[in-house]
Chain A
Amino acid sequence: MARRARRDSGRRFFRHPTAAVGLAVLVLLATLALCAPLVAPILPSTQIDITGLQNRPPSWQHPLGTDLYSRDVWSRLVYGARVSLGVGTLGMLVAVSLGGLVGATAGYFRGWADSVLMRFVDVGLSVPRIFLVLAAIAVWERLGVASLILLLGLTGWFATSRIVRAEVLTLRERSFTEAARSLGARPWRVIVRHIVPNAAAPLIVSAALGIGNMLLLETALSFLGVGIQPPQPSWGNMVADGRDLLTAAPWTSLFPGLAIALVVMALNAVGDALRDALDPRDSR
């Protein structure tokens, strides 16, 4: 029964051609990122020739050109994928876990726990995310990668919690929950073993879209000078660094910008298709 449901989901997923392409793109990029040393022999921080090879357009030796510091743009793009995709994914994991937990707790227990938590969520949603992050960065002088992930996660869970709470509110009234409760199962067990798996659908969709948001936020932070620190490349800080060179060396910001757009597009396409595939109520 479950296997057939899964096959149905799979079929519904692949009905979206864009999603299939998107998935392929993501898998390709992830593979490139993981095999970075193989596909990009030049290290991303190597300054090949600071007086002779700066800002060179794409050529055979440097397929995507070189940047202001005579570093190979292709290498930086591939190694930057590690950082950007890594930060995005991990940040999303933090956000989705936290959001899922808070949403589930609020939705299941209701009462004052619900009110308090949702007020908190309202506060979080009321302040534009970039202000929150800027303020937090002002407090911590320097952000390591770990702190950045944590920060992105801690500021990104609010919307997810709302979605999960809505799902849990409905699921709560369903028969299997009643059954579990009447059997004397403790609340946490009910949440973890019964509600969460069924609330997984919106969570997964939220996760797919969440990575995209994290990527865009990391880019914005780098633009403002507070993202991933040099010399470590990230797509965000590559775009930021290349912004002053748009006329002199457009490839330095064009390729990472396109990469970001491509990944976010792919994630959105996959997210849409997942929503379609995992939603049992959808009869189309």
Chain B
Amino acid sequence: MLPWLLRRVAAGIAIVFAVVTLAFAAVHLAPGRPFLPPEGRPINPAAIERLNTVFGLDQPLPVQYARYLGALVHGELGESFSRRRPVAEVIGNALPNTVLLAGTALLLDFVLGIAIGVFQAAHVRRRSDVALTNLTLFFYSLPTFWLGLVLLLVFGQWLHWFPVGGISDPVLHDALPLGGRILDRLRHLALPALTLGLVGAGGTARFQRAALLEALSQDYVRTARAKGLPERAVLVRHALRDALLPVISLLGLALPFLLTGAVLVETVFSWPGLGKLAADAISARDYPVVLGTTLLVSAAVVAGSLVADLITAAADPRIRLST
């Protein structure tokens, strides 16, 4: 177990290192440079030169790379060009918002998805199953931001049930009691989390249904049925345990999807999270933030897949851990 773990961790570090190097090359070789004035204002070459010096951009590229790596080893991520504060602080401000959104969306995704998938498998080929198949297929096929825009329009602008952006009310939030504050946060979280969660749930439900149907066709299930066990017991006690595993492994794949979908959803709902931070940083050529977020995201994905593999291995001794 341990040698496998060590190997995977080492491989993970190597992958993250490779990703960061690629990102470094990409941002520096991209056309367009940072510190240009906002459009429509005259350029100030002296200021740009000054900023280049302050942030070390006047050094040759290999020197910059070496410096970046050296700082990285000490846990320093540098300073953001556009926000003029440490990258760690910038990411630290945005990360909890993304975690909140992604976490809630994941919860919605899996709870809803597994429930629907199990229900469908239990009522396979009946009308409810067919209807749900089409429904989950529909939600799975929607572009996430398009769903977000529609939900925003209907529930935010027309019905006024939910706010239209941000993570909390800028004025009232602090004056509310604890219960009010939680409610305020939930109201702001609802639409973006629903957008991501519904699309994800569609996929999870389909996957769970297939996995459970596969498990139900196994021999041991037939044996259980033959023994006279009620269908529900067969489903829950035997087949479900088997069928949950592949779904859990989906967790590993869900993370990149959430981070990807989150960029667009965060933009639509003005949610100050990591996705929006990264997209803004790319267009502003804010190199340290781009590299910092890339580092964080790839590390999270590598860790996520490792954890998913560990869970799968721990839960099912039949599965041998392969490199």
- Mark A residues whose CB is within 8 Å of B: 17-18, 115, 119, 122-123, 125-131, 134-136, 138-139, 141, 212, 216, 219-220, 223-224, 239, 243, 246-247, 253, 257, 260-265, 268-269, 272, 283-284
Among the listed B19, B260, B278, which residue makes an inter-chain contact with A129, where contact means beta carbons less than 8 Å apart?
Answer: B260
**CB pair A126 B302 closer than 8 Å:** yes
B11 touches A119 (CB 8 A): yes
Residues of chain B within 8 A (CB-CB) of A138 are: 26-27, 30-32, 282
Given known A-B contacts A131-B297, A246-B153, A18 and B134 have beta carbons under 8 A apart:
yes
With A127-B297, A134-B279, A239-B146 in contact, is A261–B19 under 8 Å at CB?
no
Which of A139, A246, A272 makes the CB contact (< 8 A) with B29? A139
Q: Which of A127, A131, A239 has the most CB of B within 10 A?
A: A131
8 CB contacts below 8 A, A to B, read: A122-B11, A128-B256, A128-B257, A130-B260, A134-B279, A243-B149, A261-B141, A272-B206
- Interface residues of B, Cβ cutoff 8 Å to A: 11, 14-16, 18-19, 22-23, 26-27, 29-32, 130, 133-134, 137-138, 140-143, 145-146, 149, 153, 157, 206, 213, 217, 256-257, 259-260, 263-264, 278-279, 282, 294, 297-298, 301-302, 323
B260: chain A residues at CB < 8 Å are: 128-131, 220
Tell me the smallest distance from the CB of A273 to a CB of chain B, in Å: 12
A253 CA to B217 CA, complexed, in Å: 44
Question: 6 closest A-B pairs (Cβ-Cβ)?
Answer: A264-B141, A138-B30, A128-B260, A135-B26, A265-B141, A126-B298
Complex CA–CA separation, A272 to B206 (angstroms): 10
CB contacts (< 8 Å) of B257 on chain A: these are: 128
Known: A119-B15, A123-B19, A243-B149. A220 touches B137 (CB 8 A): no
Least Cβ–Cβ distance between B65 and chain A, in angstroms: 16
* Contact between chains at B143 and A135 (CB < 8 Å): no
Q: In the complex, A134 Cα to B290 Cα: how many Å?
A: 11
| B297 partner, pick from A128, A243, A246, A265, beta carbons under 8 A | A128
| Docked CA distance A126–B138 (Å) | 27
- Collect the chain A residues with CB atoms within 8 Å of residue B140's CB: 264-265, 268
Expressed in whole angstroms, the Cα–Cα distance for A265 and B282 within the complex equals 32
Query: B294 to chain A: which residues have CB within 8 Å?
Result: 127, 131
Evaluate contact between A18 and B133: CB separation under 8 angstroms.
Answer: yes
Asked if A129 contacts B146 (CB within 8 A), the reply is no
Considering the chains assembled together, what is the distance between the CA atoms of A119 and B294 in angstroms? 18
Please measure, in the bound complex, the distance between the C-alpha atom of A139 and the C-alpha atom of B24, giving whole angstroms: 12
Interface of B is mostly: helix
Bound-complex Cα distance A239 to B144 (A):
12
**In chain B, what residue has the closest Cβ to A250?**
B153
Residue in B15, B19, B138 whose beta carbon sits within 8 Å of that of A265 in the complex: B138
B19 and A220 contacting across the interface, CB-CB below 8 Å: no
From residue A218, how far is it (CB to closest CB) to chain B in Å? 10
When distances are taken between beta carbons in the complex, the residues of chain B under 8 Å from A246 are 149, 153
Task: Give the residue name and chain of the A residue nearest to B124 (CB).
Answer: A284
- Contact between A123 and B18, CB atoms less than 8 A apart: yes
Q: Whole-angstrom distance from the CB of A180 to the nearest CB of chain B?
A: 26
A126-B16, A126-B256, A129-B256 provided; 14 other pairs, C-beta below 8 A? A119-B14, A119-B15, A122-B15, A125-B256, A128-B259, A131-B297, A139-B30, A219-B143, A220-B143, A220-B145, A257-B143, A261-B141, A261-B146, A264-B141
When chains A and B are docked, how far (Å) is the Cα of A268 from the Cα of B142? 12
What is the CA–CA distance of A9 and B263 in the complex, to the nearest angstrom? 41
A126 cross-chain contacts in B, Cβ below 8 A: 15-16, 19, 256, 298, 301-302
**Residues of the A chain whose Cβ atoms lie less than 8 Å from the Cβ of B206:** 272
Q: For A257, what are the chain B residues with a Cβ–Cβ distance below 8 Å?
A: 142-143, 146
Which residue of chain A has the shortest Cβ distance to B14 in the bound complex?
Answer: A119
Query: How many angstroms from the CA of A243 to the CA of B29 in the assembled complex?
Result: 32
Bound CA–CA A141/B30 (angstroms):
8
